[in-house]
Each structure stands twice: as structure tokens, then as C-alpha cells.
Amino acid sequence: MKNLLVELLVEELPPRALKKLGEAFASQLAEQLGSQGLLGTDSVVTAFATPRRLAAHITQVWLKAADKAMQQKLMPVSVGLDVNGRATPALIKKLEALGADMADPVAAVAALRKAPDGKTDALFYDSLVTGATLDIGLQKALQEAVDKLPIPKVMSYQLETDCELPGWSSVHFVRPAHGLLALHGSTVVPVKVLGLKAGNTTLGHRFEAMVSPVLVADADSYTATLARDGAVIASFAERRAEIARQLDRAAAQVGNGARPIEDDALLDEVTGLVERPNVLVCEFEAQFLDVPQECLILTMKANQKYFPLLDANGTLTNKFLVVSNISPTDASAVIGGNERVVRPRLADAKFFFDQDRKKTLASRVAGLSKVVYHNKLGTQGERMERVRAIAGVIGRQLGGDALAGSADIAARLAKADLLTDMVGEFPELQGVMGNYYARHDGLSEDISFAIEDHYKPRFAGDHLPRNQIGIVVALADKLETLVGMFGIGNLPTGEKDPFALRRHALGVIRMLIERDLPLDLGALLSSAAPAFGDQLGEATVALTEFIYDRLAGSLREQGYSANEVDAVMALKPQRLGAVPKRLAAVRGFAALPEAAALAAANKRIGNILKKAGTVDPHVSEVLLREPAEIALYSAMKKVVPQANEQFLAGDFTASLQTLAALRLPVDAFFDGVMVNADEMDMRLNRQGLLQTLHQAMNRVADLSKLAS
């Protein structure tokens, strides 16, 4: 048993996918080796990934797996042996298929074991399977790891064949591969993949390696050797941490509270671009800071992979950090080169900003009628009019004509920045630029904010719109998308959701809940449909279920139990703002000692009423005969009105806790009363009593869902 190191040397890998590729390569190798019995019980897998290599270090790898005793059931004795105890043709065929020695059939049959299999006596074939050797096992594991890599896009390239006949063979992989290293301890494992034979050498940094090729003495010295002789930090995580450390150190040297912008995705991408990071401080002309900082930050991050520096107040400075892949003694040429490269990008942003402000947002609205939104739903201009109509309905409900009027202005201008040069170059800035241009046009801060915020929340954890106008327009925009797409049957399937309908649904849910808006979900969806005229089919029912499904999933992710969520969602609550209070009430009720018995009783009542069909909740006191039903009815007259008052006041927790007092009379009722009595009037009366009780107990949530 020794440690194993496998490295695949390739041309520069896609940086955004590098981390995932490295982890997948290592995990697949380990999984395949483990399935062949070649790993120890405490094997540890370490993944390495740099722009030019994928590697894995695996501890406790056997040179040969242990032999394994195998027991295989063949067939019943009556099928495998004839009346004279000789093998039937079926048994002989089965044994030959298993590779048994059939030179002496009598001896082969005698070696079989007879044992009961639970139904009858059966024949069992016992054998010893030879364990896999590392060279064969690693060959299979390596091929599987390569075949199952989550490659974003496969390349095809040609390699000379290694046989006697000259020629070329096609290879398909994420990037052309140039080297394979495989060491078990210090011994090379003779495996092949992608037309490469394994050895004990690799290549270091393209420009700064001390030697080439780099000789790796054994599996455990890989990272140290690569760092010393190859000038490469092999570990993705260590390289990422080193970049973060250097970024913070460089920012501290700039002073004045400067800090690099936080962007995990950018940090991962840059880690996938360098093998030996060297962070340098650069700067650009201060005049570019007149451009909105979002534009400058985006162009530096997206186009150049730079880290902009912010001051202590979070305002962009004219300095930025570059993660270089080389460490020259004099870095001035590298710094100057990056400053020259970024200058035209910033100049373009300034030009777009200056040009865009020459036209008002209002003057661009007419142009939306020439931009296609969807072939079945028309242009962005038509979409904008639908959003205005929906926003008007919501605005009047939440704040009367004043709010509806402000929302109409914001909704009319919300998509106008799509026609600006800046958003044409950087689509990620839609809404953001609308805010800046609206302010330049003299619009109020509330409306300007609403134009930017109507896209929010854009992602999980994003902020909600800052004001009520933004909430109205954001709701209208998302509802227009949801109702429109469901109306034309364009629903998300599996992982495909090109119009982000799941995200839009969660956005609607968050606004309704977190702002506790007095809007009923069903009415809200119905109010959006008229904006489409006769363009749509029936979509409200399917869309309502879609939103409830998203809500249930979101609540479970927040830590609520499946029973708690199911209990509340079973009632399809229309006022989503009350859902958190309902969940809190259910959680509090479930902690009561009476909860289990009442939940079970509630489930039993539901089953009785379901079988009974339509039940009139009316109760006649004259028909109450048994002491237990009289006692239950008497308790309900005291408890139910109080619980209903608390429910109507919004105190759901108190309402459920009040109902807990019914536990004893409910238990006594089921112990002493036959609901389905022979007398029809008595049966209907008892069913009515249970219907009344059922309605009272399930106003906050369906308590039967809490029953185990």
C-alpha cells in the first residue's frame, strides 16, 4: 500500500470550469479505484487544478486488491440435477458461462454447494475472484475519469498513432493533452489515456520554471517539487487563498482604507488563469470617475479580470489590482501594459455615458415597439404597456391613485434604457443605467430608484426594491412575465428555465411575504390576465400551483420541517404575508403535549368526513344523546368562538393554543360515541358536529399533516 499521484498535463483549461473539472477528475479516480477494492479504508483524496493540469493525490492505494470470495446462486436443485444426480444441460451451460473447470463434469457438480434459499433447495457456486492489479484498475479508473469530466465544450485534435503504421488518430477532450504522470509511491504505473503514456515528469510554469521537464521523485513530493522546480502552486484552494492574501496586502499598501471589491466568482476565475500569482497595483486617470462606478467596475471585472479598489466608504477609486502570472524583478512594464489596456475600455464607457445622456429616457420609449420580446407576446413596447396596466391595478390597491400614478411613470420608463449604448454594451447594467439617466432627466429619486429596482430581487439573497413604487413595478414586471409565459404554455422543464420563471416566482413570493403586502395571490394573478387581452389560454391554476411549489421549497430551505410546511400549504393561503405567522403558530402548537393526540384526531375526522361526502356543519342540541358528545359540544361553544376571534385578529399562535383545550373532550368523544349511528338524523348530527370542529381546528393550518 502506497500513495498514488496522477496528473494530466494539458493546454490552458477554461478558467471558469477549472475548479469543477479538478474536483470531478479526482473524485472519479477515487470512486473507480474504490469500487475495484484498491483503496484503503482511510484513503484521503486531494484534488489539484491549475490552468495547465488536473491532478489527484490519493493515499493508501493497494498495488493489488484482495481476492474476494464470491457465492452465486445458480438454480434450484430440481432444475440443475436430474433424477440420477447428474448435471442437466442448463446447469452445464451456466457453469461454462461462469468459467468453471468442466473437464470433469462430475467433479464440477460435486464442488457445488446445496443450501435452502428460503423456498427450496438450490445449487450455489463458490469461487475466488482474483483482485484487480493497480495497473489494470488505474487504467479503467483513468479512462472513466476522463470520459465523465463535466466538460463545457469538447475539442477535437489529431495525434500521431504509436503503432508501426504511420497515421493520425482523433482525440476528443476539453483541451489538447500533452503529458501523463502516474506514480504509486516512486514507481511509474504503466497506464495510457488520450494517446499518452504515463511517466514521472511534468512541465512547470511556462516562463518561470527552474527546470524543464520537472522530475517528480514520488507521489508525496508532487506539490513541493512543482512549487520548487516548476514555480507552480498546484492546489486550487491554496492558490486562491494566496491571491486573496496578496489582494488584501496590496490594498493595505495603497492606504486610505482601500479594499478590493468582493467577488467570489471573479476570484475563482482568476485562480483558474494563473499558476503562480503576483498581485500588482495599477491606476487609471481620475477623470474617468465621472462615469457611474457600476460601469467602470463591470468593464474592469468582465473584460480584464481586474479587481477594482474601493475606498472606506465603498466608492470606487482610480486604482485597481491585477493578478499577474509572472513575477519580474521590474514589474513596471507589466503595470504599464495593463494600464494601457484598460484605458480604451474606460474611454468607451465614458463615451457611451456621454452619448446616452443626449437623449431622454422618455424619447426612447417609442423605440421599444421595434424590439421583439417574444414572437407570441409581441414587442417590448407591448410588454411595457402590459406592465403599466398591471402596475396600475396593484398601485391603486396599495396606495390609491397617487401610488398608481407614480408607478405608471416608472413602468413606462423602466425598459427604456435597453435602447441605450451603455446597456447595449453591458446588458448587466439594465435598470442601473435607467436610474442614472432618469436622475439626469430630472425625475424624482423615488421614480429613479423604482426604474432600477423593478428587476429586483435578481437572485437569491438580493435586496428588495427600496420603495413602494419599486415594489409595485417589480411585482407588475414579474407577474407579466409569469402570466404571459404560462398563458402561452412556455413552462420551465427540468433544469431548463430560459425566462427565469422560478426566479420571478420567488421574487413575487419574497415581496408579498417580506413586505407583508395586503394582496391575495389568486386575485393578484387574475388581475394581471386582462392586460393580455385574448392572447392567452387559461394559466391561473397552473401558475398558482407553480408559485405554491416554489414557496414550499423555499420554506423548507429556510429550515421549516416538511410537516410544518405541508400543514400550512395544504390550505393554499391567499395572503402570503401571513405564512410566516402561520408557520410559527404551527411550530408552537406542535410543541404542546396535546398536539399529537389532536393531530391524530383531526386526521381521523378528515377521513370520516371524506367518506361521508357533503356534510352540513349544523348541530342540533336536541339530537345530542351521549354524555361525551354533549361534553364536546359544550367545550366547543366556549373554545371555538375565542379561537376564531384570535384568528381574525391575526394571532394564529394563540388561536391554536386555545384549541388545544379540546383534546380531552375530543378523546372522550371517540372513545364513547359511534359517529355512524343507525339513526340517520343522529348520524348526520354527529357528522355536523365533527364538521364544525374540523373547520375550527383547520383555519390556521391542516393539523392532520402533523400526525405521524
What is d(CA 518, CA 574) in angstroms, rounded to the nearest whole number? 10
Contacts of 445 (CB under 8 A, 6+ apart): 439
Contact 74, 47 (CB under 8 A): no
Please name the amino acid found at residue 210. Answer: M
Torsions phi, psi for 23 (to 5 deg): -65, -40
Quote the CA–CA distance of 50 and 52 in Å, as a whole number: 5
Give the pLDDT of residue 163: 56
Residue 63: predicted pLDDT: 93
Query: Angle formed by the axes of helices 18-35 and 264-271, to 10°?
Result: 70
Kindly calculate the radius of gyration of the chain based on its CA atoms and give it in whole angstroms: 36
User: What is the predicted pLDDT for the residue at 647?
Assistant: 94
Contact between 172 and 151 under an 8 Å Cβ cutoff? The reply is: no
Query: What are the C-alpha distances in Å from 699 to residues 35, 432, 609, 652, 703?
Result: 54, 44, 17, 9, 9
Q: What angle do CA 345, 350, 355 make, to 5 degrees?
A: 125
The phi and psi torsions of 534 (rounded to 5 degrees) equal -105, 25
- Mean pLDDT by runs of 10 across the 708 residues of the chain is 96 95 96 93 96 97 86 84 86 83 78 83 82 92 94 83 63 92 96 93 95 96 97 97 97 93 96 97 96 95 95 95 95 96 95 96 96 93 96 96 97 97 95 97 96 94 95 97 91 86 96 96 91 76 92 94 94 94 94 91 88 83 88 93 94 93 91 85 89 91 88
What region does 553 belong to: left with phi over 0, alpha with psi -120 to 50, or beta?
A: alpha
* Inter-residue contact 128 to 101 (CB < 8 Å): no
Model confidence, pTM: 0.80
Conformation bin of residue 328: beta by default, left when phi > 0, alpha when psi is -120 to 50 = beta
